[in-house]
Structure 1
Amino acid sequence: MKRLLLTSAAALFATTAFAADPELIVFDWSGYEEEGFYPDYTAKHGDIPTFAFFGEEEEAFQKLRSGFRADVGHPCSQSVEKWRDAGLIEPWDISQIPAYANVDAAYKENPIFADDTGVYFIPADLGATAIAYNTEEVPAGDIESLQVFLDPKYAGRTSLPDNVDDAYSLAFLATGVTDWTTATPAQVDAASEWMRKAHANVRAYWADGAELAQLMATGEVLISWAWNETPVTMAADGAPIGYQREAKEGSSLWFCGYVNLQNGPGSEQKAHDFMNAWLQPEVTDYMVNEWGYGHGNAQAMADFDTTILDEVGMGKIDAPILRQLPLENAIREQMVASFEKIKAGF
């Protein structure tokens, strides 16, 4: 959500890490302050934006509700409706973001992201969540199914994300649900019961890719439900880590993007310049090659070498995919409540 290089300092509530251009405050996940994401902005304005970080979307939501002010925010797709309903965001002026023309039509047609009142969400980054595993200690046959997370052989050697959306993408898939936009309360209960069983094997819930990489590098954790960034970067460093996106029950895809925050204290022009800079083709190259994630510029992604996309875990697969699309707020709140109980051992 969302997602790389979160440090303990960045996890502090809305910690401002880089005070630069005072006319643009970006409320973001740690790691996205890297200048490779918005080079055109820096070239035009001579400075980087000021960044404030959050560690999890509910934290960001509550901070904004309590009065914290920024110009641009970076939620993931399933949070957009909640942020809209709370009056936290306002439409972008698409006439100031010409690169929006290269965004996939699917995002433009979703009424949660865009309707006759304007465009509220612009996709920026996307990735996969699937099984990361130690190739030296976990036989390939064991990770053909998501039920490996229940296998008593791996008691105390698995890890799950400390993120309700990613965790439930696993639990839904494992219980036969591949489209959570139509999920019922009963299906949430079934997924929660499955996750309660998986919890018995969990060594730790990871909050970010760096934490998971450490757990897997030491051998404490052999199997995890993970963003594709972690196995890609670990394998590049020579670690015996594989990535299984084609378990028989499937894997997940998530996407996040930027919103124009209501009553931002800075420059609307600079907010729009930042967004247009984010959608440039050179950012697609940076996103895929340096982070292993996909990018909101669908045209540039379509032109990308499929071999590289396969290598970073973003290629096409022959297995079910649960897309982390917006879902009913009541269903998500049920997930949130159940997840907190499960982590606490109930």
Structure 2
Amino acid sequence: MLAGAVAFHASAGFAAAQPPGDRKWEVEIGGGWEFSVRPIDGTALPIEPGEPFVTGVGEPSRRVRSWFFGDGAALLNEAIGGFRDQIDIPPVDPLDSVFGTGLLGPHEYGGVARVSVTRILNRRFAVELGGSYSTVPRIELAGTAYSRIRQSRESFEPTWAALIPIGPFTESTVSSSLTSGAGSLRETAVTGVLHVTFPTGGREVPYVSVGAGYVQASGELPGSEIVGTYRFRIDRKHWFEQVDAVTLRSSSNDGAVVGVVGGGLKSYLSDRWGLRLDVRALIGQSATHLEVDTDPRVRADGLPYGVASRTAPSIQFGNEAASVASTLGLATSGLRAWSASGLSVRVRFSLGVFLRF
């Protein structure tokens, strides 16, 4: 990416055709390949618990976003403990373990295109302003993240299939599903660098580069949706169905300041044209996050009713007609559950052609 320029001491014939000080500008266009390393270590961000309330049987409960993670999974597993003397109910496996690593793997590969303008200061130094556009056409969900999400989904059905028959419920069904999709990433970078060249007396001139820039990311990164549904009849009269839907998605749309280090080799084909092989690393704080959406839904007949477990904490099911709050019921959008900590490194290998004037 980005062009480097240098006045140099060429062979006698070439120097005669092109004195070092005659051309002070270079415009370059090029492209190549990018290898990125992102941190998988990060910080699980605190998720505030839902509002507490007292159920219809006088026991404490909380409004929760989902049974799959956070205080919802904790409340469900605590309530299950209240039935240990009646039946052995397997606990739900929470998604919280995913909040420690995020959804993405540590490596990515893609292509990069670049353009730059270079001003030659003297035979040793040049400054460059450049822009680049890189793309990773396909990013898969990390294998460990997918395994943990799948384990949580698989635990949902045994938990609820064992729990529901304890109450005044009949004709129950429990199901769960997991949908995962790949994503892509695009990044636009603007950088400024200083090139330090090492004239060799020939047409090939090595150089090193140092500078800084700004990278802005866009695109849809991979994510997963996990859905659990239970349906039953209460007191053989009222149908009640509740859907627990959770979407996990990676985001990397924040901009980041980066440092630039690198080097390469320029080859002057004539006094006007040349080629440049460049290797460069853009290093900056990772801007990758894990965000969570929840969309709990109740489908029920219109008759007012509510029912709650006699455990502490208690789980309550109810509908709007009875003004009875279900324990599961908090919708959430864009809840940030994890942020990467550490440096993201983009190593770019490119070949470009430049015009001198």
More strand by share: 2
TM-score by length of 1: 0.21
Rg larger for: 2
TM-score by length of 2: 0.21
More helix by share: 1
